[in-house]
Amino acid sequence: MSFNSQFHYNSRENIAKKLKRDKERGAFAYGKPADIITHEFGHLMLKGLPEQTIHKLEAYYQTNKNDLEQISRYAKTNFREMFAESFLQYRNTQASPRAREILKIAGIIE
Ligand SMILES: [Zn+2]
């Protein structure tokens, strides 16, 4: 994984500024560089889930895709980003009821 130096990510200071701004406007659930790692780890976890669970998450996304603001706007992109953003929110910040619901479907929390 790497940061694209052509796009805000040309210094540690600019990365921190961009992430903070993105989080404040609700675009992403992450606000620190380490949060990106957690988000990407969420993608890996999703790949390891049973197929039946992945189908349940896809169905959940189809039903709720316009109501994922509690997590982030990026979570509305597709069910994979919905899951990665939910995982990040749960792991690194205060998980919203919506994120907790998604992680319950995934069997990650009770
Ligand atoms: Zn992602």
Give average pLDDT by consecutive 10-residue segment, the chain, 110 residues. 67 82 80 86 96 98 96 95 95 91 96
Could you tell me the distance, in angstroms and rounded to a whole number, from the CA of residue 13 to the centre of ligand 1? Answer: 22
φ, ψ of residue 42 in degrees (nearest 5): -60, -40
CA dist 44 and 102 (Å) reads 16
pTM to 2 decimal places: 0.84
Could you tell me the distance, in angstroms and rounded to a whole number, from the CA of residue 40 to the centre of ligand 1? Answer: 6
Could you tell me the distance, in angstroms and rounded to a whole number, from the CA of residue 39 to the centre of ligand 1? Answer: 6
Could you tell me the distance, in angstroms and rounded to a whole number, from the CA of residue 110 to the centre of ligand 1? Answer: 24
Burial grade of 46 (CB within 10 A; 0-12, 13-18, 19 or more):
buried
